[in-house]
Amino acid sequence: MSTPITVTQSTFKTEVVESNVPVVVDFWAPWCGPCKKLSPILDDIAAELGDQVKVAKINIDEERTLAAMFQVMSIPDVMVFVGGKKVDEFQGVRPKNEILEKLHRHLQP
C-alpha cells in the first residue's frame, strides 16, 4: 500500500485485524498540531515501504468508539498491529528513522 487509508469502525476488522502485512494505525484529529507534523512522515513511510506495510488513519473525532477501545488518551497515538494484535505503540511525533526502526522489527524478511 503506497498511501495511507482511512479506517472506520466498520472497516477496522478487514483493514487492520485481517491484514496480511503489519499495519501502522495513526489515531489523530484535524485540530491536532503534532498530528499534522506526523502525517507527512507516515505518508513517506507508506510510500517507501509500499506493500510491506499498511498505514491506516483513524480520526478520533469521528471514531470515538475505536479511540475508547484502544484507550487513546493523547494524540497522535500510533499503534503497530501484526496478525491482528497490537505489538508496538508510541505517542507524539517521532523522527522517520525511529518509526522505521520500530517497523522493521515486524516486517517479513
Q: Is position 35 annotated as part of the catalytic site?
A: yes
- Catalytic-labelled residue, pool 16, 24, 25, 32: 32
Angle at 33 between CA 73 and CA 68, to 5 degrees: 20
Residues in the chain, overall count: 109
Q: Answer whether 74's CB lies under 8 Å from 20's CB.
A: no
- Catalytic-labelled residue, pool 7, 23, 24, 35: 35
Q: Please list the active-site residues.
A: 32, 35
